[in-house]
């Protein structure tokens, strides 16, 4: 179920802490087995911090619809979500980075990699790519009608 939810989504919210200050940053991702790939500018504060091995929380939520009731108290939302915990590792080899970017591209829009120019060496060097290893994860699903 966790993999199915991760495969259906493409936007994750990355939670981490720097000097006691919590941050949650939205980002695109790609998945291969128990690994999520994240990317951004080498200047990204988030990616630089995650690469140090800090604990990370990744959440993906797929809203499936609003559940409306006669009473506002019983309004809800049907959804599927995953909360994953783990640590990230920076990918330094250009071939590894290119493969991770392919995985992200294909995850977000299957077939797109075949239609685009490959990243140049300069672009790969300007891009930070992390592999986030899922160490623990849980799924939560809400489906059904409004409570009476």
Q: Which of 97, 101, 86, 30 is nearest to 53 (CA)?
A: 86
pLDDT in tens, the chain (148 residues): 999 999 999 999 999 999 999 999 999 999 999 999 999 999 999 999 999 999 999 999 999 999 999 899 989 999 999 999 999 999 999 999 999 999 999 999 999 999 999 999 999 999 999 999 999 999 999 998 877 6
**Quick one: DSSP state of residue 68?**
-
pTM for the full model? 0.92
Q: Which of 32, 38, 13, 25 is nearest to 97 (CA)?
A: 38
Q: How high is the pLDDT of residue 127? A: 97
> Where in the sequence is the domain holding 78, given as residue range(s)?
2-140
Q: Is 29 exposed, middle or buried (0-12, 13-18, 19+ CB in 10 A)?
A: buried
Residue 74 falls inside a structural domain: yes
Q: How high is the pLDDT of residue 145? A: 85
Residue 124 falls inside a structural domain: yes
Residue 53 falls inside a structural domain: yes
Spatial separation of the C-alpha atoms in residues 76 and 62, rounded to whole Å: 14
Q: How high is the pLDDT of residue 106? A: 97
Q: Looking at the 3D structure of the chain, how many domains does it have?
A: 1
Residue 24 falls inside a structural domain: yes
CATH number at residue 132: 2.30.110.10
Q: How high is the pLDDT of residue 148? A: 66
Residue 109 falls inside a structural domain: yes
Residue 22 falls inside a structural domain: yes
Residue 115 falls inside a structural domain: yes
Residue 55 falls inside a structural domain: yes
């Amino acid at each position: 179920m966790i993999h199915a939810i991760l495969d259906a989504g493409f936007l994750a919210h990355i939670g981490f802490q720097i000097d006691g200050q919590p941050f949650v940053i939205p980002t695109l991702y790609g998945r291969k087995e128990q690994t999520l790939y994240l990317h951004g500018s080498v200047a990204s504060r988030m990616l630089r911090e995650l690469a140090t091995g800090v604990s990370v929380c990744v959440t993906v939520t797929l809203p499936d619809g609003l559940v409306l009731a006669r009473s506002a108290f019983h309004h809800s939302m049907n959804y599927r979500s995953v909360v994953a915990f783990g640590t990230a590792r920076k990918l330094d080899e250009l071939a590894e980075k290119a493969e991770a970017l392919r995985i992200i591209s294909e995850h977000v829009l299957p077939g797109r990699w075949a239609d685009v120019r490959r990243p140049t060496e300069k672009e790969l060097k300007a891009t930070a790519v992390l592999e986030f290893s899922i160490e623990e994860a849980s799924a939560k699903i809400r489906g059904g009608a409004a409570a009476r």
